[in-house]
Structure 1
Amino acid sequence: MAFTMTMTGNLGVTRALYNVDWAVGYGAPCHQVDTMLVQALLHIFYYEQGAVYREGMETSSHTPMPPPPGYSSIAIDGYIGPATQAHIDSFQEGLRTLGWIKNVDHRFDPMREVPYGLSTIQKEHYALFKLNQSCNNSDVIYGSSFFRDLRWREDMPISLRSALKTEKKRAAQYSGGGAQSSPAVKMAGGGGSAAYKQA
């Protein structure tokens, strides 16, 4: 289940980062609340903060990363479908273009240590860390709280808000967290509200 981690930056400022317990995206467990977190962060990045990747505070590090073609929103419903996958892929493609990741793997794996824990296979920053970082930087630059107040936002699902009030240091995926339950996955091409099955 999604949760909050804290990190202290170079200037001694402590801030929250939001993490998933299990990977979300193609071929991943996609637990419902973990998926809601990914959807919420992508919604904040693309549709509340202007779809600009902000590596740092200086404007030279700001790069437009438009949403995937054909989309003007992303549902925060906890189900993986074409829209959520397109947004994951689009964000990773943007990171690859900027040189932050080598390969698009179509999923967000949980972050390990923050702030600078690298992935064990690719030896690069987790895409989820880069998404958290950009959303936080946008809040700081514009004095907004879209990202910072995610745990308390009443427009977010209550199950996500409740989960994010839990603080811990390590994702279950890296803790021998036991057996995974089957996630709910939206069936491709199903449309409407009835297109759900257990994967």
Structure 2
Amino acid sequence: MDDAIALTLLACFFLTSIALSRGKRFLSQQVKDFMLQRERASIFDTSTAADMRYLLVLVLQTCVLSGIVLFNHFYDSVPQLMSRVSPLLLLGIYIGSCLGYFLLKWLVYMFTGWIFFDKNKTSMWLESYSALIYYVGFALFPFVLFLIYFDLSPTNLIIIGIIILIFSKILMFYKWVKLFFHQFDQVFPLIVYFCALEIVPCLLLYRGMTLMNSILLLKI
């Protein structure tokens, strides 16, 4: 019954429809590039300005939908927070946190790639990371619709959310192996590197959200 959430979802639907209708060829090519191994990155060379705008909109949509999922989770787990803090303010904070998380990960990937890998492989990984983000947004959209309008239980929310998260991490690890794994003795460093940049940041993000909620409860 929240008009702001309904308008947000409606805007996401129209933006997704426009992106799919006008950039479906480019988006489908990104899926092929993600699954296949190429010699060099191409997203910044072959894409038009319109394509890049669609990609940025889809990445922003992923952040918005992720913020709605977090909002719904904390609505169930910390109900007193919703009665003391403006829901729109909380939703904005969660969306901003997700956006900051993805941008920080992008910068970390650029920095670590500059140190440990060559420029071409780093560019291909950033391209694959961007593609994975906006396709996760496609998966989150029906999930959020069921979450809001069919009143999923907190248990089902956590299970489905974990499944989406694990599947995205498996795809990321798959791409890492194709890009950076050449010898068997590199498996262990790759796993450590993957955990440091993928698993730990997710835990830190969730922990940061819970600490922020506690601070809001104490100050308001």
Q: Normalised by the shorter chain, which TM-score bucket?
A: under 0.3
More helix by share: 2
More strand by share: 1
Q: TM-score, normalization: structure 1?
A: 0.27
